[in-house]
Structures are given as structure tokens and as C-alpha cells.
Amino acid sequence: MSESKSKLRVLDLEPGAEIFVVNHRLERIEKAVSPGPGGALEYELEPGIYKLRFRAGYSMQDHLVALEGGQTLEFRAPRLAFNSAAPLQGTADFAGPQRQSAHRISQQTQRELGQGGGFFLYISDPDRRGRRPLAEGVSLHDLQGQPILNVPRAGKTSPRSAPEPWFALSASLEPGSYRLRVTTAQGKLEQSVVVCPGWQTQVFLRRTPFWHSQRSQRAPNLFEASVLMLRLGEGFRPERPDLRWTELARQGLSSGRAVLEPSLIEQLLDQKLENPMLGLLGGHLLLLGNPEQGRLERIVWRLREILNYPHPDVEALALRAGLEVQPLSTPPLLRSSWALWLQGSLNHPELIPLGSFPERISTAIAGSGAWLVWQYRPQLDQPAPSPGQDPVYRQMKAQVSGYLHRLQQYTQLTQSERSSLPQSLSQLAQQLPPDPLRPEMSSAQQLARATGLPLQSVKRILEEEEQA
């Protein structure tokens, strides 16, 4: 180290947290994530005053440090309390009773609906004024949309004297995919719940305001859910640090920030850490950069080994890694997984079959964030005998038509001489300009990419237009 330089050592930055080093000119000169539990980050800096900004999830904390020439300064990173729907140790807004209730009830079985897997649901509300039943409007359905559990009646509610209300439900289920539905002021929303053999899928929700017609109503928020997977019988473990890392990984993915070191993701899986959600989220965080192909493949094989089940989000990573996968039969948990399936279907349309439930929700994707959430409508459950009678198909066609006509209007604005006579969708599709990123793509592929619909859906629309 140069005699005029100083050394800064930052200790114990937890996985999933970030550090930013800012100099006296307010320029960010360093940015990093944790190298691993107990690891240290070292910086060689000019003497002076620096701001260290630590970020965990959506929480931030700043510290000023003064470095003198030739000095080595050690600074221990703070453990930030971030917001989470799961009552993890060190998170904001939760006290001991909530953690204890979640741990205790998650180890029980209140409803037996099958064997081999488990489901745990925990709902809370930081607004202590709201005493409407927490689970009101929440239901669990099979993949065909049939209700399998009366959630409000099946679970346990906190005593009225509790400072913060909570609701908890634990059930045994057959391994498979289910649909968790929540009624809000903006309509009914759904999300996948994937139950794997030998694992309990844990979903934590917090009630937040949903606005409609200038009025708000509090409802469980699927967009900010915390989803964990633990071995059957282990229950929720709020003290486990890797569950904090999992939630930080989810929040990082939600905002497009790669908050886990690539080598750390693989290292945690190699150590047989029993936390598949951390590996799954970590795999998707890798894709925010340019991942090494071999590393992504190793993560996929390890997750397949741990889960022993064709999890749609793991298979999305497998698809990205160039491994063999089966067609998608159930919506994935993650929005980034859905994007990978759509991307894969551009070259392999059979990956999202016509008439499948994943194809049918493609017109109903809602909101933003890490999770794939869709607006529920009864017509999603039952395809009509023919496309012309199917409201979902008509909506897909309207989506394609709307995009093409908007494109035509834009073209007309730039070329006023262009004819404005009505044209069929198939004729408009043939006029699509080449995609500058993928000039080899067909018009159907371009439309699928632009509208977010599966390629088979777009092809069917264009083919029927040509035959009309």
C-alpha cells in the first residue's frame, strides 16, 4: 500500500446487502455486495472523509468515516432492519410474539388435504386500527380453479389483545401446483403456490391499501409476499440468517439489483444449505449479469436434486442454461421465470401449449415486482369449445390488433402519404419492420415478443386471419 494511501476494511456485510463508498465530491467510487458470511471487503483510498452507504432490501443507512494517510480502518457493517412480510429476526415492525406464533403453527398440521408436502400461510397487518378478518377474501385452489380450502375458517387468528393481528394456517398437501387467490378493491389476484415432496412452502403476506374509485381497502398483498421453503416438520425458523438472505435476494430481484455474489450462490448450494428458494432466487439474480454457463447448469442440477420435482422456476433456469425441459403446465412463481418461458417459446412454441393455463393467463399479468401475479377472471378456468367463443382468445386477438394498429398509426405519422385503408391483422403483421436486435425474427415472433403472448397464440391468431 502506498504511504499516502489509506486502507478501509468493511467487515461482516451480510449476503444480500450492498455497500456504496462515496467521496467528498459526492462521487460513488466503490460498490460491492457481500463476499460471504464473515467475509471482508478491502478498499485502498486516498486520505479524506467518505460516506459509507449500506443497503439491505429497501432500507439504507449512512455512516461517515475519516481516513488518514497510511491508516488501516476496520468498520463493521450494520445489520439493517428491513421491511418484510415474514417475521424474520431483525426485520422491521415485528415483535417476538409474531415470530413465535409463526414458528409454532408452521410445525402443526391444521388441515390434512394430502400427503407428501406442506403449505403454511401467515398474514399480518402493521396497521393496528384494521380489525377486519385478516384472511377475508383469501382462498386456495387447485390448478383447475376448484377451491380446496376455506382459508378463513381453517386457520388460527391472534387474540384480540394482540398488539398486531395475525392469521396462520398450516396444511398438508399433495405435491403439485396450486393457486392462491386474494380479493382486493382492484379485483381478484392470483399467484402460484408450488409444493414439492418433503418440503413445506411458506407464504407470508401483509395487508396494504388497495385503491379503487378514490377509496382504499386493505388486503393481503401478493406483490410483496415473502415465500420460503423448509423441510417438512422444521417449521418457520425466524432466527436462520439464510432466510434473511433469501428475502434480501427477493427484494433485490424485484428492483433489478444483483445483490448476491455469483460464487456465493453456488457455494451455499454446494454446502448443502437446505434453502431451495435462496438457490432459485440466486439463479435468477445471476441472469441480471452475464453468467458463466457452467455455473448456471450446476445450480439447476443442484436444485433439481434438492427438490426432486419439476419446479417451473427451476425449469425456467434449465431452459436458459440450454438443458432439456418439458412443456410448461403451470405458471411459475417468478416474473423473470415467465419471461424465460416466453423467450424460449419463440424458438420452441410447444413449450407453452395452446389451451394450457399458463397460456390463458398471458393476457392477465398484473403489477410489477419479483412475483408473477395475474388478475383472476372466471373465463380463465374453462376454455370455450371454439376460439371465437372464448373471451380469453378474443382478448389475445384484441391485444395483437391493438399493437399492430398503434404501429400503423405511428408509421402513418412518419409517412403521411401511406394509405389509411383498413387492413387485416395478417397483412399488418407482414409490414412489421425488422427488429434491430433480432432481424431474423418472423413477424409472428416479433408480435409475440412485443405483446408478451406465447408464440403459438400469436400464430393461431394470424393463421385464422389469413383463412377468414
Q: Are residues 138 and 171 in the same domain?
A: yes
Closest to 285 in 3D by CA, of 370, 191, 372, 374: 370
Residues with Cβ within 8 Å of 433's Cβ and at least 6 positions away in sequence, in order, are none
Q: Of 189, 215, 239, which closes a domain?
A: 239
Query: Looking at 27, 59, 76, which one is the last position of a domain?
Result: 76
Q: What is the mean pLDDT of residues 95-119?
A: 91
Same-domain check for residues 69 and 138: no
- Kindly state the average pLDDT of the residues 107-127: 94
What the block records as the C-alpha cell of 435 is 427488429
Same domain, 55 and 104: no
The yes-or-no verdict on residue 340 having pLDDT over 90 is yes
Same domain for 107 and 210, yes or no, is yes
Range of the domain at 11: 6-76
Query: Average model confidence (pLDDT) for the chain?
Result: 88
Domain identity same for 49 and 163:
no
Q: Which tens digits make up the pLDDT trace of 433-442?
A: 665 555 455 6
Q: Answer with the residue of higher pLDDT: 159 or 200.
A: 200
**14 within domain boundaries:** yes
**pLDDT at position 417:** 39
Burial per residue of 273-287, b for 16 or more beta-carbon CB atoms within 10 angstroms, e otherwise: eebbbbbbbbbbbbb
C-alpha to C-alpha distance for 171 and 155, rounded to whole angstroms? 9
User: Residue range 204-218: average pLDDT?
Assistant: 85
Name the domain count of the chain. Answer: 2
Residue 413's pLDDT is 45
The CA distance from 118 to 199, in Å, is: 6
Instruction: Say yes or no to pLDDT of 229 above 90.
Output: yes
Do both 10 and 60 map to the same domain?
yes
Residue 96: pLDDT band with limits 50, 70, 90:
confident
Residues 318-323 have a mean pLDDT of: 95
Give percent of the chain above pLDDT 90. Answer: 63
| pLDDT of 424 over the 70 cut | no
DSSP secondary structure, 219-262, as one string: EE-STT-EEEEEETTT---TT-HHHHHHHHHHHHHHTT---S-H
Give the pLDDT confidence score for residue 190 in this predicted structure. Answer: 98
In a domain, 62, yes or no: yes
- Which pLDDT score, from 0 to 100, does residue 421 have? 39
Cβ atoms of 220 and 139 closer than 8 Å = no
pLDDT at position 418, please? 45
Distance CA 308, CA 306 (A): 6
Q: What is the CATH number of the domain that holds 66?
A: 2.60.40.10
Residue 459 has pLDDT above 70, yes or no: yes
> What burial letters (b/e) apply to 390-417, b meaning 16+ CB within 10 Å?
bebbebbbebbeebbeebbeeeeeeeee
Exposure string for 289-299, b = 16+ CB within 10 A, e = fewer:
eebeeebbbbb
Residues 71-89, mean pLDDT to the nearest whole number: 93
- If asked whether residues 89 and 70 sit together in one domain, one would say no
Rounded-to-integer distance, Cα 309 and Cα 466, Å? 42
Asked whether residue 58 is assigned to any structural domain, the reply reads yes
Q: Is 122's pLDDT higher than 50?
A: yes
Answer yes or no: do 178 and 45 share one domain. no
339 within a domain of the structure (yes/no): no
Higher pLDDT among residues 25 and 162, named by residue: 25
Is 452 contained in some domain? no
Q: Does the pTM of the predicted model rise above 0.75?
A: yes
The per-residue pLDDT for 90 is: 87
Task: Answer yes or no: is 450 within a domain.
Answer: no
Q: Which residues pair with 374 in a beta bridge?
A: 190, 365
Give pLDDT tens digits for 376-416: 999 888 776 667 778 888 888 888 888 877 776 655 544 44
pLDDT for res 262: 85
147 and 223 together in one domain: yes
Average pLDDT over residues 256-279: 84
| pLDDT at 285 exceeding the cut of 80 | yes
pLDDT at 420: 47
| Domain-located, residue 145 | yes
Read off the pLDDT of each residue in 316-345 and give the average, rounded to a whole number.
96
Same-domain status, 107 and 180: yes
Please tell me the least confidently modeled range out of 183-187, 291-295, 348-352.
291-295
92 and 217 fall within a common domain = yes
Q: What is the pLDDT of residue 37?
A: 86
Residue 399 pLDDT: 87
The strand pair at 156-157 and 365-366 is best described as: unpaired
* Chain centroid to CA 390: 30
- Residues 316-337 have a mean pLDDT of 96
Question: 43 vs 422, which has greater pLDDT?
Answer: 43
In this model, does residue 419 exceed pLDDT 70?
no
- The answer on 67 and 161 residing in a single domain is no
Residues 6+ apart with CB under 8 A from 49: 24, 64, 65, 66, 67
For residue 291, being part of any structural domain is answered with: no
pLDDT the model gives residue 423:
55
What letters, b where the CB count within 10 A reaches 16 and e where it falls short, cover 206-244? bbbebeeeeeebbbbbbbbbbbbbbebeebbbbebbbbb
Q: Which of 239, 261, 293 is the C-terminal boundary of a domain?
A: 239
